[in-house]
């Protein structure tokens, strides 16, 4: 049943049958978020990635955006699996979409933090988003162990 929905979505998307595409998309989203009809969500995700990225034009679409969002926000067990690694290698556009989504969310912005200890000067990158979310104001140097405040050393690149 899920595979049929995916086929309907791919065909309706290709031939711009908008109402049918949107209806299939709604059902696909319901299954992937709630496991409706007793469907196995990781297996459905795998099928959806293969169907979407196997037919993808390289342009982003609502289904592609949805797949990336659900992978990053709700499916950590799946994204930590070897099966997911294999999907990324099979569908490079999936890797591009995941990376662009992370970049747009600010997760790839980093600060270069330089240890203030004059004989150390170890440089460590810190994710800007992580600093924000965790309200981090200080750290231990990974090399010399000095405890320092970011406000004293922060270099923004
Ligand atoms: Zn240091």
pLDDT in tens, 68-87: 999 998 888 899 999 999 99
Q: Ligand 1 centroid to 124 CA: how many Å?
A: 10
Q: Ligand 1 centroid to 133 CA: how many Å?
A: 24
Which is it for strands 123-127 and 138-140: parallel, antiparallel or unpaired?
A: unpaired
Residue in the block written with tokens 């591009």: 96
Same domain, 13 and 77: yes
What is the domain range of residue 148? 110-155
| Domains of the chain: total | 2
Same domain, 87 and 115: no
pLDDT for 57: 64
- Alpha carbon 28 to chain centroid, angstroms: 19
Residue in the block written with tokens 């099966």: 83
- Distance, in Å, from the CA atom of 40 to the CA atom of 145, rounded to the nearest integer, reads 47
pLDDT tens, 127-155? 877 777 777 788 889 999 999 887 776 65
Same domain, 94 and 118: no
Residue 148 corresponds to which tokens in the numbers above?
A: 């320092």
Same domain, 85 and 47: yes
Q: Which of 6, 45, 3 is nearest to 24 (CA)?
A: 6
Find the helix or strand (DSSP H, E) in which 136 lies: none
Query: Residue 124: helix, strand or coil by DSSP?
Result: strand
Same domain, 70 and 41: yes
Same domain, 87 and 54: yes
Q: Ligand 1 centroid to 134 CA: how many Å?
A: 22
Same domain, 7 and 76: yes
Assign 61 a pLDDT band (cuts: 50, 70, 90): confident
Assign 58 a pLDDT band (cuts: 50, 70, 90): low
Structure pTM?
0.73
Same domain, 24 and 94: yes
Same domain, 82 and 11: yes
Note every long-range contact of 148-153, with CB atoms under 8 Å and residues 24 or more positions apart, other chains counting.
148/115, 148/116, 150/111, 150/113, 150/126, 152/116, 153/113, 153/114, 153/115, 153/116
3-state percent helix, strand, coil for the chain, nearest multiple of 5: 60, 10, 25
- Whether pLDDT at 39 is above 90: no
Q: Ligand 1 centroid to 120 CA: how many Å?
A: 5
């Amino acid at each position: 049943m899920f595979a049929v929905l995916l086929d309907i979505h791919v065909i309706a998307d290709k031939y711009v049958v908008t109402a049918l595409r949107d209806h299939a998309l709604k059902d696909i989203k319901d299954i992937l978020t709630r496991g409706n009809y007793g469907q196995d969500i990781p297996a459905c995700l795998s099928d959806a990635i293969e169907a979407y990225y196997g037919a993808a034009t390289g342009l982003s679409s609502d289904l592609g955006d949805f797949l990336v969002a659900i992978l990053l926000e709700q499916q950590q067990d799946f994204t930590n699996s070897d099966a997911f690694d294999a999907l990324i290698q099979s569908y490079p556009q999936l890797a591009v979409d995941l990376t662009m989504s992370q970049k747009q969310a600010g997760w790839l912005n980093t600060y270069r933090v330089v240890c203030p200890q004059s004989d150390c000067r170890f440089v460590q990158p810190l994710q800007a988003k992580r600093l924000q979310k965790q309200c981090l104001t200080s750290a231990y140097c990974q090399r010399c162990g000095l405890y320092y405040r970011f406000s004293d050393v922060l270099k923004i690149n």
